[in-house]
Each structure stands twice: as structure tokens, then as C-alpha cells.
Chain A
Amino acid sequence: MAHVHGLRCRECGREYDVAPIFTCEWCFGPLEVAYDYDAIRAATSREKIAAGPLSIWRYADLLPSDRNPAVDLGAGFTPLVRADRLAAELGLGEVWIKNDTVNPTNSFKDRVTSVALSKALEFGFKVAACASTGNLANSVAAHAAHAGLRSFVFIPANLEQGKIVTTAVYGGNVVAIDGNYDAVNRLCAELAGSYPWAFVNVNVRTYYAEGSKTLAFETAEQLGWEAPDHVVVPIASGSLLTKIRKGFDELHKVGLLDDEPAIRVSGAQAEGCSPVARAWLDNVDTIKPVKPDTIAKSLAIGNPADGYFALDAVRQTGGGLAAVTDDEIVDAMKLLARTEGIFAETAGGVTIATLKRLAAEGIVRSDERVVAYVTGHGLKTLDAVEPTVGPTAVISPTLDAFHEAFPPADLERA
């Protein structure tokens, strides 16, 4: 169950009662849920969690919704896969992939949607909505269908076909906007003020964001209640990175992790949309918004709401940031697939390309236990790899044709 004091502004500290609000009325800073950690410490235990559902809801004591049953398609408790072949190729010692491609709608967004819509039902909302670069749209449309809610999802019209179809199939309203994601989000911010709808990443965002902590909770539980040394997380708004860090810290606060985590947190961005990485690389304090231009559309947020918090987290923990090119992204998608059998979307390519770059730079070290978060399935962004991936040979159904394509001598050597 939820052990929540209220809400608090991360920028100025002002406090608010639990309500569907997301920005501080004073300074516009983002709000976050303030928990009663003593109550959580008393209520939770490793045993209780182990006996819980095989989903994010095993961590219900650390989540802000009381809704029972939760709006739940089974998000979370995804595989933490040891990636020895990838590690070897990158010159690293121990790499794990947190494989969120296997969620109900194939991205980590199912975690945050499950929390957001559960809370939305507690507030009495009847319509689910969101602004999305694709993965959230899929997730909200699916969860709304499962809960019997009407839905309105707003997306940029130039999204990958796969993401549009995999959202529309659930039968809700899909509104394709002639503009980039930032423009879509602006429209939704205005609509959220006019319609009594639960925009999961606008007016319900404060609760929604908490779902991301479960990536940290699971990582620790799956490592035998230990924290990794270094994590690599993709940055769109910056929320995921900050919540993963918060998740590990909370586990210690409530007694689930014995030692205070000293995890180095690194962030991954595409060069074509790298406002946070740019500030780190240039060693400045101000994040300049950009106009996104990258194949990594799920990370294409030019003015990230949690950018400053993500930058602070990286600096404070001694992590790093990289801005990787579109070519590096595609190569990294194929590298992960080839070495570990995991097919990630472009955001996953950004993460693995960043891991590769930071390893080469010595920022991710070979003596560290590293976890890289792969947030979405490659099926969502097929067009990124389609140009350079296909059959090894196309031949007639004859032995001769096969031997010509694959000379026996070559086959023996392989």
C-alpha cells in the first residue's frame, strides 16, 4: 500500500496535499511524491517482496497508489541478463542488461503507466491520455483498454509506423500532431487544464514518474539485494535516470539494501538531441534547449523537464554522459543483438553506444559491475535497422545454389 505524506517541489521545497498536480504553483518546479520512509521500513521486507506478484507491484510499499486491483497488465520483473559477450567486446569485466523490451507493450513505459492509471482511478478520472513519442502511447492505449477507460493519446505525426499501428490497435483515440514532441506536449499541457482527463505524463506525472524506480528495485533484488557499481540510463526528459538513482537510495533508506549505494550514474543521449550531454561535455551549468534531429525519436525531447536533475545526478555520482551519432546508434543496436540476442529500439542503441564510448574513455571501468537499461524493443523502430539488415543470401531451392552461396570450405572454417 502507499505510505505517502504528500507532494513536494524539487526546486523550492514547497509542500502540497496529494492531488493530480505536477508543477509547483510557486516556481513551476516539478513535484515529487514525499513518502513516510519510517512507515515503509516497518511495512516492507525482502521476504514480503519475494512473496509478492511477479510485476512492479511486488514493490507496492514504495509506490504511491493504493488502488486494488491496480491497473496492471504485468509490467516489470523483467530479465536482468548477464552480458558476457558484450562485455568482452567492449573490454569490460561485468555487464548486465536490464531487458525491458519484454514488458506487456514492449517498453519500460508499462511501469509508469500502470502506476499512473492506478492513481488516476483513485482520483476518479474516467479518461486516460498522454503526449508521447510512441512507447507511452502504446502503453496508455493498452492499459486503458484493459481498464475499460476511454483514451486520447497524442503523438507527433512523423512517428515510426510501428509505433502508430501498435497504439491504434487498442481502439482508443490516437491524435497525430503536425509538430515535434515538445509541441505535442505543450498542447497536452493546455488540454490538461481544460478537460478532466488523466494525462499520465502531465497532471498525473508526479505519480507516473515513481514507476521508474522499480527498475532500480528489481536490479537490486535480482543481484541478490546488492547495488551495481555503475548504471547507464538513456535520457529523454531525464526523469528515468533520476528515478533509478532515487530507487537505489530508497532501498537503503527503508532497510532493503544494507550498504548505502555508491553507484556511478551515467546518461545516454543522441547527438541530434543532447541538451544534457552538451552541458556536461562543455562543463557548464545551463542546459540549452535544442531542436531534436535524430533517429532516436523516443529520446527526442529538446527541453527536458528533469534535465538539471539528471545532470546533477551524473556529476554528483561521478558518472559521465555521451552524445552518440545516429550511425553509432544503429551499430550499437546490431552489436547488442549480435552479442546478446537482445533486440533494442533506437533508445537502446543510444544506451549501448554510450556504454561503448564511456568504456573506451575509461569512464565506465572494467572493474565495475555495470547495468545498462534497455528500455524498448527493436520492433518499435524497425526502420532504423531495415536498410542494413536482411537475409545472408537469397537462393533457388537447390544444393548447387546453396553451395555457391556458402562454399563448403568456408562453412568448415566457420
Chain B
Amino acid sequence: MSVTIRIPTQLRELSGGAAEVDAEGATVADVLKDLEAKHAGFQERLFDDNGELRRFVNVFVADEDIRFLDGVNTDVADGATVSIIPAVAGG
């Protein structure tokens, strides 16, 4: 599957300034691995030492938080957008 990963401002230094990166994979975990392969450094920023997504990292597939889906094992459809977003503040 080909997806578009939206990169938050805080991580754009790793993607050479790009707000969007194309990636391949069947699941969120796969596409994030592909992201690491294309731009080294994402892995250690997104995942902690136990290989879990850091607790303040939110990942959305087509505007749905993956915690409501299958976590990093969530399947991604062809052409989907995967967004990495910091946690939500109040207002």
C-alpha cells in the first residue's frame, strides 16, 4: 500500500523540511518502518526503548486515532493519509 505520512513541524528537520512523505506498507508499523528507511531518525523519536510508540505521540489513519483501531497493527489502505500529531490540549 502507498500512503502519505503527514509530518508534524517538530519532526520536519528529519524529513528535510517536507510536511508529507510517501511510504509503503500494509500496516502503520510497516509504513513507519519505511519512513525510517527513507529518513533515518524517526524510529527513535517515535518509539521508546521498549519499541512502543511514545505516549505523547498520536498517530491517525484517515483522521482516526489508531488507539481506537488496532494500534500500530492497524491496516492502511492504498492512498490513505497517516498523520503524526502531538497530544491534544484544552480550550
Contact = CB atoms under 8 A, between A and B. Distances in A.
A295 B43 CA distance: 40
Contacts of A239: 89-90
B85 A11 contact: no
Contacts of B19: 193
Given A25-B10, A289-B65, A131 B91 contact: yes
Category for how many chain B residues contact A: 20 to 34
Contact of A186 (B68, B85, B90): B85
Contact of B89 (A25, A237, A289): A237
Nearest to A287: B55
Nearest to A185: B88
A186 B86 CA distance: 8
A301 B65 CA distance: 13
Contact of B67 (A23, A137, A288): A288
A29 B48 CA distance: 12
A291 B63 CA distance: 13
Given A132-B91, A202-B89, A304-B90, A27 B8 contact: no
B90 A201 contact: yes
A29 B89 contact: no
A118 interface: no
A190 B89 CA distance: 13
Contacts of A131: 89, 91
Given A23-B86, A189-B85, A291-B68, A30 B56 contact: yes
Given A28-B10, A289-B68, A205 B56 contact: no
B73 interface: no
A22 B56 CA distance: 12
